[in-house]
Amino acid sequence: MQTQPAASHFINGQYVEDTGGEAFDVIYPATGEVIAKMHSATPDIINQALDAARAAQPAWAAMSGTERGRILRRAADMIRERNHDLSILETYDTGKPYQETSVADATSGADALEYFGGLAASLTGEHIALGDGNWVYTIREALGVCVGIGAWNYPTQIACWKGAPALACGNAMVFKPSETTPLSALKMAEILHEAGLPAGLYNVVQGLGDVGAALVVDPRVNKVSLTGSVPTGRKVYAAAAAGMKHVTMELGGKSPLVIFDDANLENAVSGAIMANFYSTGQVCSNGTRVFVQKGIKDAFLKRLSERLDNAVIGDPMDPDTSFGPMVSQRQIDIVDSYIAKGKAEGARLAYGGNRIDQPGFWIQPTVFADVTDDMAIAREEIFGPVMAVLDFEDEAEVMARANDTEFGLAAGVFTNDLTRAHRVAAGFEAGTCYINTYNDAPVEAPFGGVKASGVGRENSKAAIEHYSQVKSVFVRMDDMEAPF
């Protein structure tokens, strides 16, 4: 497959290059090979993208929602038709196994375009009667130019989760992918324009954090939506606040997964696997603090090890492979340092823990048992395949410990006690909770965090609130009074 894109950026409906920008390589994480050479956006490229977005947006917002939606839904169909090739590209970009990318990446991007394409025509204001025949009506308006900044773990999905609601509401978008995974967003831009999106409405510019930072402070930008870590979120939120811009912050987490003695063991193990090892652990909502009630602990750890032995680690392009490499040298070094910390702090290494000696960024699925709340591996987001198993005795104790974190992205519980399940979900300080399941993220449901894990929601009708604003228009039908 041709992995080198026609150019680094996509602006005003076409590929654009500026070799004056800093050069960087795109690496296939499974082998360490260079698969594309790109350039960071120069100030001129950033200007071109923002000018194109500004110029195109008013006419797009003036179109009917039905017309806008039709284009988005057409793009969704095209993505589904090309799912195989897009999934291969996503695997090259991220290293995630084709077994995953073929069902979770382009497909979820298509779902977002279809869902928000369907909603576009239903976006309306309200009529509010004020008495004496007077009234106010509201108009739901686009915000203008939205900037999307993406993390590297779900590049296609993030490009669509931000682009689809933004475009449905009549905005233009300038998207900056992570410089680690710059390829897929360009394909999304290409497909959107092939589907009929007018030029200038979905632009992609490449670069490191400095390009993102320049976009965030630009006065032409009305909204910033970031998917990234909490430290980056703090910087971007503060910079956006100076310009009084709208924000959506989808940030990191250290989510709890609580498994009670009465849980179905096989399902609980499946939940813990999905909460820690899917995408080689590089999922923001992962339940990496696995609290296991003492009565089920030994059985849980035994069954977990047996199931982890079934992981197929190897060529990510092989449809049988179920566990791929980490995304980059930098990320595997971070994960390695946490494994060393876990050992040094006295946690018991129950599974894995070693790098796999081959080119690329390979590490085993890793489980620490006997982890305590104060250990770094129980407090800090690792963003890799490292599960921390902590013991607990009772519900009140585990709830206090589960919520004792600055994060609040997700939380899960496995139990067969119906009332306890709902009580625990109600008690979690998290934006997204799971009962007897983990890590589902369909477009129909709101997704996002509380506390330091974020602001705003992606997906569902809730996202519309974050990509549009309401104007109130007062109408007086009788005479107007004044004091003098």
**Could you give phi then psi for residue 33, rounded to 5 degrees?**
-75, 150
Q: Can you tell me which of 31, 138, 229, 267 binds ligand NDP, judged by CB under 6 A?
A: 229
Burial class, 483, CB count within 10 angstroms (exposed 0-12 / middle 13-18 / buried 19+): exposed
Q: Does residue 8 bind ligand NDP (CB under 6 A)?
A: no
Pairing relationship of beta strands 172-176 and 145-149 according to DSSP bridges: parallel
Site for ligand NDP in 108-127 (CB under 6 A): none
250 classed as catalytic: yes
The residue (of 13 and 29) whose beta carbon lies closer to ligand NDP is 29
Q: Does residue 434 bind ligand NDP (CB under 6 A)?
A: no
Work out the end-to-end distance of the chain between its first and last CA atoms, rounded to an integer number of angstroms: 77
Residue window 395-414: x/- pattern of binding to ligand NDP, with contact defined by CB under 6 A: --------------x-----
Q: Which two tokens stand for residue 148?
A: 């999307």
Q: Can you tell me which of 164, 216, 274, 308 binds ligand NDP, judged by CB under 6 A?
A: 216
With vertex at residue 30, the alpha carbon angle to CA 25 and CA 31, rounded to the nearest 5 degrees, is 65
Q: Would you say 120 and 72 are in contact if contact means Cβ atoms under 8 Å apart?
A: yes
Which candidate in 90, 250, 381, 458 is catalytic? Answer: 250
Pairwise CA distance, residues 325 & 277, whole Å: 11
The residue (of 159 and 350) whose beta carbon lies closer to ligand NDP is 159
The residue (of 216 and 339) whose beta carbon lies closer to ligand NDP is 216
Q: Does residue 227 bind ligand NDP (CB under 6 A)?
A: yes
Min separation Cβ 454 and ligand NDP, Å: 6
Min separation Cβ 300 and ligand NDP, Å: 25
- Checking phi first, is residue 271 left (phi over 0); if not, alpha (psi -120 to 50) or beta? alpha
Number of residues that bind ligand NDP (CB under 6 A): 30
Min separation Cβ 252 and ligand NDP, Å: 3
Site for ligand NDP in 165-184 (CB under 6 A): 176, 178-179
Residues 6+ apart with CB under 8 A from 398: 258, 291, 293, 392
Q: Can you tell me which of 69, 109, 148, 150 binds ligand NDP, judged by CB under 6 A?
A: 150
Q: Can you tell me which of 56, 145, 146, 149 binds ligand NDP, judged by CB under 6 A?
A: 149
Q: Does residue 163 bind ligand NDP (CB under 6 A)?
A: no
Q: Can you tell me which of 236, 433, 463, 464 binds ligand NDP, judged by CB under 6 A?
A: 236
The radius of gyration of the chain's CA atoms, rounded to the nearest angstrom, is 24
Q: Does residue 209 bind ligand NDP (CB under 6 A)?
A: yes
Q: Does residue 156 bind ligand NDP (CB under 6 A)?
A: no
The residue (of 216 and 421) whose beta carbon lies closer to ligand NDP is 216
Q: Does residue 378 bind ligand NDP (CB under 6 A)?
A: no
Q: Does residue 342 bind ligand NDP (CB under 6 A)?
A: no
Q: Does residue 100 bind ligand NDP (CB under 6 A)?
A: no
Q: Does residue 213 bind ligand NDP (CB under 6 A)?
A: yes
Pairwise CA distance, residues 85 & 1, whole Å: 8
The residue (of 152 and 368) whose beta carbon lies closer to ligand NDP is 152
Residue window 23-62: x/- pattern of binding to ligand NDP, with contact defined by CB under 6 A: ----------------------------------------
The residue (of 269 and 430) whose beta carbon lies closer to ligand NDP is 430
Q: Does residue 218 bind ligand NDP (CB under 6 A)?
A: no
- Point out the residue whose Cβ comes nearest to ligand NDP: 212
The residue (of 124 and 337) whose beta carbon lies closer to ligand NDP is 337
The residue (of 171 and 328) whose beta carbon lies closer to ligand NDP is 328
Question: Which among 206-214, 271-279, 302-310, 386-394 is the span making contact with ligand NDP, rule CB under 6 A?
Answer: 206-214
Question: Which among 127-135, 147-155, 255-263, 352-360 is the span making contact with ligand NDP, rule CB under 6 A?
Answer: 147-155
Please identify every residue annotated as catalytic.
250
Binding residues (CB under 6 A) for ligand NDP: these are 149-154, 176, 178-179, 208-209, 212-213, 216, 227-229, 232, 235-236, 250-253, 284, 381, 383, 409, 449, 454
